[in-house]
Amino acid sequence: MQKLLLTLILGSSFFTHHAAMAQVATYPNHQIKIISPFATGGIADGFSRIIAQGLSEAYGQPVVVENKTGGGGNIGADFVAKSPADGYTLIMGSIGTHAVNPYLVKSMPYDPFKDFVPVAFVLDAEGLLAVNPSVPVKNVSELITYIKANPGKVSYGSGGIGTASHLAGELFVLTAKVDMTHIPYKGNALAITDLIGGQTQLMFATMPTILPYVKSDKLRGLAVTGATRDPSMPDLPSISETLPGFDVKNWIGLFAPAGTPPAIVKKLNAEVGKIMQQPAVQKKLESEGAKYYAMSPEAFGSFQKKESVRWGKIIKSAGIKPE
C-alpha cells in the first residue's frame, strides 16, 4: 500500500512538473493583459502601452492595457493579486501600490509583497513642483513664506493617495514645516486640470505629465523634486537646495501574481529590458526626466522593500494616519 501511495505521489509530481515546464515552454500562447491602476495620461499608463507594444511585437501575441483605477491604485492591484499566476495578467505597479499604500490605507485588500512577484523595474521619473501663475512666488523659499503667511489656505493636488505627488507634498509639509491642504484626484491629469483652473495652488507631479503645461506658461515651474538638478532642465533648481535631504521620485515596474513560474518572470524581465533600452524609448525617457535601470527580478524586489521602509519612516514621522 505504501509503495502504491509513493508511486502515485511521484507520478503526480512528475506530471505537475512537466505541466509547468510545458506552460513555460509555450509562454505566451495567447493574450497578455497589463493592468494600469491609474487613469490615462499618466506615466504608468503611458509606459504600460510602450511595454505592451514591445511585448506584442516580440512574442507575436496581443498584449493589451486595461485601466482599473481607484483607491490609490489598490483596485487594479487587488485585481491582479487575485488573478491566475500564469504570466498572462500583470500590473504596472508604482511606489504607491507596491511600497507605501499599507502605511496610508487602513484596510488593504492585498499584500504588496506576499501577493506579488517583482518582474521588471521600468523607470523612475523626476518630479516637478509647479504653481498656478496667480500664486505670487518664483522660487521655493518664496513659496514657503507664502504658505506660512496663509496657513491652511493653500492646497496641493495629487494623483491620489499614496502616489508620488502625494508623498512629495507630505514630505514638503514635514521638512518646510508648513500647513497645506491635500486634495487627492483620480490621476494626475485631473489634478493638473484643476491646478491650471486655480482650484488648487500647487502640485508635485512627474515631469512627463506636467512639463508641457510649464513650457506653455499655463503653470510656473519652481523646482525639481529629486536630490539634484535634472540634466534635461539644468537651470531649474532642486527643492533640496532649499530643503536639504528632500528627494522624491516616482517609480513604476511590472509585477505578477505570487506563484508565477520563475522562468516566465525571467523571460518577461529580459524582454522588458530590451524594450526599455531601445533608442526611441531611451530618447523619450531622457526628454521626460525619467531613467531606466537594468534590474533582475530579485534586485527589483530588494529595491521595492527599501523604498517601503524609507517611506514608512517618513509617513510615521509626518504623523500621517491610515485612512
Domain for residue 19, yes or no? no
Same domain, 119 and 78: yes
Domain for residue 8, yes or no? no
Task: Identify the bridge partners of residue 67 per DSSP, sorted by sequence position.
Answer: 36
Locate cell 525619467: which residue? 290
Please determine, for residue 60, whether its predicted confidence score (pLDDT) is greater than 90.
yes
Same domain, 161 and 176: yes
CATH assignment at residue 159: 3.40.190.10
Please determine, for residue 61, whether its predicted confidence score (pLDDT) is greater than 90.
yes
Same domain, 60 and 78: yes
Residue after which a domain boundary falls, among 241, 261, 295: 241
**What is the three-class DSSP state of 174?**
helix
Alpha helix locations (H) across 60-163?
Answer: 74-81, 95, 101-104, 140-149
Residue after which a domain boundary falls, among 188, 210, 241: 241
Helix axes 207-215, 188-197, angle to 10 degrees: 30
**Where does the pLDDT of residue 182 fall: very low under 50, low under 70, confident under 90, or very high at 90 and above?**
very high
**Where does the pLDDT of residue 7 fall: very low under 50, low under 70, confident under 90, or very high at 90 and above?**
low
Same domain, 224 and 261: no
Contact 177, 109 (CB under 8 A): no
Same domain, 138 and 202: yes
CA distances to 79, 135, 227, 237 from 38, in Å: 13, 29, 26, 29
- Kindly report the number of other CB atoms within 10 A of residue 13's CB atom: 10
Domain for residue 22, yes or no? no
**Where does the pLDDT of residue 18 fall: very low under 50, low under 70, confident under 90, or very high at 90 and above?**
very low
Same domain, 221 and 198: yes
Same domain, 113 and 174: no
**Where does the pLDDT of residue 71 fall: very low under 50, low under 70, confident under 90, or very high at 90 and above?**
confident
Residue among 171, 174, 177, 186 nearest 249 (CA)? 171
CATH assignment at residue 299: 3.40.190.150
Domain for residue 207, yes or no? yes
Q: pTM value?
A: 0.83
Average confidence score pLDDT of the chain: 91
**Amino acid present at 109:** P
Same domain, 205 and 135: yes
| Bigger pLDDT: 203 vs 230 | 203
Domain for residue 98, yes or no? yes
Range of the domain at 154: 127-241
Residue after which a domain boundary falls, among 190, 215, 241: 241
**What's the mean pLDDT in 62-73?**
93
Same domain, 136 and 231: yes
Domain for residue 214, yes or no? yes
What b/e sequence results for 62-96 when a residue is b if at least 16 CB atoms lie within 10 Å of its CB, and e otherwise? ebebebbbebbbbebbbbbbebebbbbbbbbbbbb
**pLDDT given for residue 20 in this prediction:** 52
- Please report, rounded to a whole number, the percentage of residues in the chain having pLDDT higher than 70: 93
Number of domains, the chain: 2
Same domain, 234 and 160: yes
Same domain, 138 and 218: yes
Same domain, 56 and 205: no
Domain for residue 5, yes or no? no
Domain for residue 105, yes or no? yes
